[in-house]
Amino acid sequence: MSEKILEKAIENYLNIDSAIITLVTIGLITIITIIAYSLERRISKRSPVLNKVSVHLIEGVAIAFSMVMLEKIFFILNSGSINNGWLYANAQLTILLYCMYLMRNKITLLINLAMPLLYYQAMIFKRFDNKTLPLFIISYLVLIVIILYIYNQTEKLQDKEWKYLGMQTLFGLAWWVLLWTDHTFPAYEIINMLIVFLIYMSIIRFCAKKLQDTMLNYNDLQIQVNYDELTGVRNRANLDKTAKEIYDTYSKEDVPLTVSMFDIDHFKNFNDEYGHSTGDEVLKHVAHTIEREMFLTDAKGQLFRFGGEEFIIIFRGKSPTECTSIITDLRNTLVNTPLILNGQCLNITISFGVSKLASKDTDFDDLFNRVDQFLYQSKNAGRNRITVEGTTHNFDDLTT
Written as tens digits, the pLDDT of the chain (400 aa) is 445 444 554 455 556 666 777 777 778 877 887 787 777 666 655 556 777 788 888 888 888 888 888 878 877 776 655 556 677 788 888 888 888 877 777 888 888 888 887 765 545 556 666 667 777 788 888 889 988 988 888 777 766 777 778 888 888 888 888 888 777 677 777 887 888 788 878 877 777 677 666 655 555 555 455 788 888 888 888 888 888 888 888 888 888 999 999 999 999 999 888 888 899 999 999 999 999 888 887 778 899 999 889 999 999 999 999 999 999 999 999 999 989 888 888 999 999 999 999 989 999 999 999 999 999 999 999 999 999 999 999 988 776 5
355 in Cβ contact with 259 (< 8 Å): yes
CA 235/CA 227 separation, integer angstroms? 5
Range of the domain at 175: 2-226
Q: Is the pTM of this model over 0.85?
A: no
Same domain, 42 and 186: yes
Picking from 193, 226, 259, the residue at the C-terminal end of a domain is 226
**Pair (98, 215) in one structural domain:** yes
Q: 45 by DSSP, 3-state: which?
A: coil
Position 231 in a domain: no
184 in the same domain as 39:
yes
Count up the domains in the chain and report the number: 2
**Could you count the other beta carbons within 10 Å of the beta carbon of residue 173?**
19
Same domain for 249 and 338?
yes
CB 287 within 8 A of CB 264: no
Which residues sit opposite 341 in a β-bridge? 344
Q: What one-character DSSP code corresponds to residue 383?
A: S
The domain boundary, picked from 205, 226, 247, lies at 226
253 and 326 within one domain: yes
Rounded Cα distance between 240 and 244, Å, is 7
What span, in angstroms and rounded, lies between the C-alpha atoms of 144 and 171? 9
Question: Is the domain of 347 the same as that of 368?
Answer: yes
**Residue ending a domain, choose from 226, 253, 271:** 226
Both 288 and 166 in one domain: the answer is no
Q: Is 280 within a domain?
A: yes
Q: What is the CATH number of the domain that holds 358?
A: 3.30.70.270
